[in-house]
Amino acid sequence: MGYFDAASSAPLHPVARQALLASLDEGWADPARLYREGRRARMLLDAAREAAAEAVGCRADELVFTSSGTRAVHAGIAGALAGRHRVGRHLIVSAVEHSSVLHAADAHEAGGGSVTQIEVDRRGRVTPASYADALRPDTALACLQSANHEVGTEQPVAEVAAVCRESGVPLLVDAAQSLGWGPVEGDWSLLTASAHKWGGPSGVGLLVVRKGVRFVSQGPADERESGRAAGFENLPGIVAAAASLRAVRAEAGQEAVRLRELTERIRVRVPRSVPDVEVVGDPERRLPGIVTFSCLYVDGETLLHELDREGFSVSSGSSCTSSTLTPSHVLKAMGVLSEGNVRVSLPMGTPEEDVERFLAVLPGAVAGVREKLGAPVPAATVQQDDALVVDALGKRCPIPVIELAKVIGDVPVGGTVRVLSDDEAARLDIPAWCEMRGQEYVGEEPADHGAAYVVRRVS
């Protein structure tokens, strides 16, 4: 079986398992107590904190353990904003942040704060200049992930941190995807991470607040974890998280080289073996194990089921796998194709033969899905002046794009096709199709239902 979804949750590292089992026997007592069992538990907790702080590159008293990475993000953003409320209530985030950051931003805005969202290029990267332009006298906090969870693109954290530091604004870095590969460079102020992303147990997060950063913990006071993470510490989980972080770091250098070669193999060979594919994300500045591509005329959920039947567990940012039926916010911000999206994220130790088998299976799986979708009930087409109108209302992507591809050859060069669609994904996928196929996307027009997407044939 090929488990290729480590970006969602990495398999439990053997060292994490050993540490977890050992600490269940030794670390069950309250580390705040002075008797023998409590002292033993405190020693385990202190050792875990020291090990995690060393891996992060911070002081031990700057790091607290939380109940999850999401909880660390929410606590970090809320505490930093509260600590600088006299400066203002302006928050800066990138458009491709993890949903935990964006949800915190939404809550801040709903509470009367203001939020600036930084756009990214087609590779998913921000620019330091865009953060510099967004900074205001009332900016309380800026946030930037170290690397993207959907496409693997690494962000210029050190440069953005320098820009923020010059203006006296703290930068919170979500390092969930990258911390297992190495420390985050730059003069950042706050950092969050999640143990299950690097092979530790679920239910353990990290929150680092540098000395000198104004921070006010929110919620009722609690004596645990410096008052920044309420509740009894999950000591076995914390010990296993710290032990596994140290273990994966020891393996990271050599394993990064190997996984980069395997993901590069996927990036190069998938477009060769599968027509009409867009590989997304930065080709150079990316995490070692993540590669993402989107396939035209493919329903993402169906493709994932086909690959699952072949023994491969992959994920998708496609609208077709979302309960909200909206495109991935990351792919949307990048302006790339979202339909038929596949994210392959290889865990450490992935065998080369699993990747080769995936590359052998994928073309047939995509072809099979396309065959199933290749003969839908033909969409109604009418001639309207010099434009051909395709009525794809009520049809989910990729059907509107398939119908567009079928009729584009029926109009003369210079003629237009108006695709009527009420699927939100069409707003992203039709322009992406035009760029891939060398046609001109004219724009979006209002329609009685949904929208009309106008495409001009140029070749």
CA 36 – CA 40 distance, rounded (Å) = 6
Asked whether 80 and 172 are in contact (CB, 8 A), the reply is: yes
58 classed as catalytic: no
CA 309 – CA 158 distance, rounded (Å) = 43
Three-class DSSP category at 12: coil
Expressed in angstroms, the distance from the first to the final Cα of the chain is 44
CA distances (Å), 382 to each of 169, 385, 417, 418, in order?
Answer: 57, 10, 10, 10
Three-class DSSP category at 350: coil
Element of type H or E holding 172: strand 171-174
**What's the maximum distance between 2 C-alpha atoms anywhere in the chain?**
87
Beta strand extents in 346-437 (DSSP E only): 380-384, 387-391, 416-421
CA distances (Å), 112 to each of 78, 101, 107, in order?
Answer: 13, 17, 9
Element of type H or E holding 270: helix 235-273
Element of type H or E holding 238: helix 235-273
CA distances (Å), 405 to each of 44, 105, 398, 437, in order?
Answer: 62, 39, 11, 9
Asked whether 151 and 120 are in contact (CB, 8 A), the reply is: no
Please list, in sequence order, all residues whose beta carbon lies within 8 angstroms of the beta carbon of residue 12, skipping any fewer than 6 positions away: 199, 200, 201, 244
Asked whether 331 and 280 are in contact (CB, 8 A), the reply is: yes
Give the β-pairing of 205-209 and 380-384: unpaired
CA 395 – CA 429 distance, rounded (Å) = 14
Three-class DSSP category at 331: helix
CA-nearest of 209, 239, 264 to 84 is: 209
Give the CA-trace dihedral at 442, 448, 449, 455, to 10 degrees.
-20
- Of residues 143, 320, 397, 434, which has the active-site annotation? 320
CA 21 – CA 272 distance, rounded (Å) = 47
- Active centre residues (catalytic): 320
